[in-house]
Amino acid sequence: MTLCIIGLGYVGLPLAVEFGKKYETIGFDINATRIEELKQGIDRTLEVNKEELQAAQNLSFTTSIDDIKKANIYIVTVPTPIDEHKNPDLTPLIMASRTVGRVLKRGDIVIYESTVFPGCTEEVCVPELERESGLKYNEDFFCGYSPERINPGDKKHRLPNIKKVTSGSTPEIAQKVDELYKSIITAGTHLAPSIKVAEAAKVIENAQRDINIAFVNELALIFDRLNIDTLDVLEAAGTKWNFLPFRPGLVGGHCIGVDPYYLAYKAKEIGYHPQIILAGRRTNDEMGIFVANKVVKLLIHKGHRVKGSKALILGITFKENCPDIRNSRVIDVINELQEFGITVDVYDPWADTEEVKREYGLELLTNEPNFADYDSIVLAVAHKEFKELDYSTIPQSSVVFDIKGVLPRDLVDKRL
């Protein structure tokens, strides 16, 4: 048995490493720089260290389609983003399916892990596989779906100790797929009755979390008008045993801020307009603008001239202690502040400066900032480094907005 992992990002690389400890595994990616770095034991996502890469003795890396022809199990882990209209952008998935289709042989199994809407594997991917290979689905080749559950930056919940949902295009293939994952997942597996069920299970995991965060974000908007602290309210309510401990914040990243749109897209396609899902998305997407506008009001309250003032944003990644900047909603705060004529500097020791420049057009500060230089400071991401900074140099006249609620209370003017 030879496996090929298509796409070596936050999801694909940990998967390739675990399989590479037991089976001959080929890691394939179209990014030549990424492949060269991995060959040298460097993972810029910081999900896998050099020792872990070396432990996967049966793992090789390539950009060549010729090198993956010998595989008989292909696992696709490419991104599934949204476009400017917030509709699914299936381009990476379709291109990956075409690549696999060109090398597909009789008896091969293609497993998808990319997050999609229910039905996508068999309605979108399978036709591409059939077209490129000339083979017949469920006669010549088979498919499976096992949704990824990688949590970037989380060193506690990692691939082997997170229960895995599996599925297959026939009962026999479903069992094969399940046994394959069982061989590397110590937490065990859950065999879903169909590919479509497994796809739906994945997309609602993040939609549910998105809606819960939207609820507490709406509470933050209400409590701001009532002039009470949201975190104080949540702390008090949290003394009840069954109260869910969600916190307000900016909802970005490649999952929670994206997946609900995949489910909404499919719902509208079959004639149902989802109200709660999209309402939650609207609320969460507006939080960056709320933060920026609140900072402006606080600047005025403290006697600052808004236009021409300087703001410091601490953090640009979508979550703490992680270099992932995909779909970071911190950019909403930055853009809104700039609309008011405020000069914005951004400091983030976790983010890659070139990637930030390419993705958002921002020049990150390379050295630890001097707080005395800024009229407003927004802590946007709770990196561990930010908790250790010396905030005593912040002038009394400066506005401090703590989105994450991690700074001392007497230091901040407003928490989300």
Active site residues: 255
End-to-end CA distance of the chain: 52
- Whether residue 353 contacts residue 287, with contact meaning beta carbons closer than 8 Å, is answered with no
Strand partners, 6: 28, 76
- Asked if 311 contacts 378 with a C-beta cutoff of 8 angstroms, the reply is yes
Residue 55: strand pairing partners: none
- With a CB cutoff of 8 Å and minimum separation 6, the contacts of 342 are 296, 306, 307, 308, 309, 310, 311, 376
Computed over its alpha carbons, how large is the radius of gyration of the chain? 23
